[in-house]
């Protein structure tokens, strides 16, 4: 049997830090309101010259260096992003160019905040069938460019960054299972219009994130509870088999509810939310990278990744590291 094994991780965060106090000078909010409701204190904001592909390149180069592989051995690049450099070429093709790779295939995945899980799941399918040997998965987002900085309900949540993971074929267990889902009937609760497209141009809607946060919150908590059950059942495992929860970083209260469902303490959760905010499809890979880099995540441990985002989309990946 062929398994997908993690051989390297990488991450990148832009230099500029925007604090809750900075935001309280822009909109009617406060550090205490934001921190108590979300768990966020600061987030990073990309410089004008930065793009999803430029940030993806830095995160990818770190993952490649940590894996110690020749970039030419990468035969698939999947970039999860809702903030691509261009409508086309895909950000994955732009990343392929930046990395000087001319073989294999690159394409983007758009599943909002669940994008990294979707990309890992796709990579795993191609590795397991033998179609690919080494796949680079990246989540890269410049959320700051699609946030309405006058809307206090959303501008406090999001940040910019990129995370990367390299997966390669092995005869040893790695990714144990992935589970991905979507339900398009929730469009109105969380969406970002595209003003270039006729339907949004007619409505004169700007291209910024619209969210009914409270309603999203409730669906997210219930849905993530179900995906935890689905993942454990598919692998015949009990809650105590999981060493680390690596969640999409949207809100500490959502993450705490999932940890509770797993009977885990917050010490078993990799949290980056406080200093990074919600970096959409990058957040989970950035958290995974942080846990690997600082040595909390150790070889042989079992990691549950999960995410929920616009669509709605949601999913999980159970990984033997």
Give the residues lining the site for ligand ACO (CB under 6 A): 29, 33-34, 37-38, 112-113, 152-153, 156, 190, 213-214, 216-217, 220, 250-251, 254, 278, 280, 309-310
> Taking the C-alpha atoms of 246, 250, 255 and 256 in order, what is their torsion angle to the nearest 10 degrees?
140
- The residue nearest ligand ACO at its CB is 213
Q: Which of 5, 20, 93, 113 is catalytic?
A: 113
Q: Which is nearer to ligand ACO, 255 or 319 (CB)?
A: 255
Pick the catalytic residue: 143, 248, 251, 289? 248
Q: Is 181 a catalytic residue?
A: no
Mapped onto helix, strand or coil, the DSSP state of residue 201 is: helix
Which one, 254 or 297, has the nearer CB to ligand ACO? 254
Residue at token pair 């141009």: 201
Q: How far is the CB of 261 from ligand ACO (least distance, A)?
A: 16
317-to-66, 119, 195, 267, 277 alpha-carbon distances in Å: 22, 11, 34, 20, 22
**In angstroms, what is the minimal distance from the CB of 159 to ligand ACO?**
12
CB nearer to ligand ACO: pick between 39 and 291: 39
Q: How far is the CB of 74 from ligand ACO (least distance, A)?
A: 28
Helices (H), the chain: 20-24, 31-38, 52-67, 91-99, 115-128, 152-155, 198-203, 213-235, 252-261, 273-276, 283-293
Query: Whole-number minimum distance, CB 80 to ligand ACO, in Å?
Result: 12
Q: How far apart are CA 135 and CA 125, in angstroms?
A: 11
3-class SS at 55?
helix
Rounded CA separation 68/45 (Å) = 30
Residue 113 annotated in active site: yes
Nearer to ligand ACO, 53 or 251 (CB): 251
248 flagged as catalytic: yes
The token pair at 127 is 């590795």
Where in the sequence numbering do the catalytic residues fall? 113, 248, 278
């Amino acid at each position: 049997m062929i398994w997908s094994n993690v051989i390297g991780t990488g991450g990148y965060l832009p230099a500029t830090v925007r604090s809750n106090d900075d935001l309280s000078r822009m909109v009617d909010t406060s550090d205490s309101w934001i921190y108590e409701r979300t768990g966020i204190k600061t987030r990073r904001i990309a410089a004008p010259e930065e793009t999803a592909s430029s940030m993806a390149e830095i995160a990818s180069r770190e993952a490649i260096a940590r894996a110690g592989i020749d970039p030419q051995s990468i035969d698939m690049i999947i970039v999860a992003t809702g903030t691509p450099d261009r409508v086309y070429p895909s950000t994955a093709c732009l990343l392929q160019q930046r990395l000087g790779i001319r073989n294999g295939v690159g394409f983007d995945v758009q599943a909002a905040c669940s994008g990294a899980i979707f990309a890992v799941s796709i990579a795993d399918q191609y590795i397991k069938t033998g179609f690919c040997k080494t796949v680079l998965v990246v989540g890269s987002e410049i959320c700051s460019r699609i946030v309405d900085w006058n809307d206090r309900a959303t501008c406090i949540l999001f940040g910019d960054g990129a995370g990367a993971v390299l997966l390669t074929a092995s005869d040893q267990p790695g990714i144990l299972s992935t589970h991905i889902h979507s339900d398009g009937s929730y469009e109105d609760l969380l969406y970002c219009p595209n003003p270039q497209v006729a339907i949004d141009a007619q409505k004169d809607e700007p291209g910024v994130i619209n969210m009914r946060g409270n309603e999203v919150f409730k669906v997210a908590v219930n849905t993530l509870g179900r995906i935890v059950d689905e993942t454990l059942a598919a692998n015949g495992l009990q809650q105590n088999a999981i060493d680390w929860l690596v969640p999409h970083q949207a809100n500490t209260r959502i993450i705490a509810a999932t940890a509770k469902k797993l009977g885990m303490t917050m010490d078993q959760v990799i949290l980056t939310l406080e200093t990074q905010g919600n970096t959409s499809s990058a957040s989970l890979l950035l958290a995974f990278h942080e846990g690997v880099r600082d040595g909390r995540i150790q070889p042989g441990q079992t990691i549950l990744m999960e995410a929920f985002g616009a669509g709605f989309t949601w999913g999980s990946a159970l990984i033997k590291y």
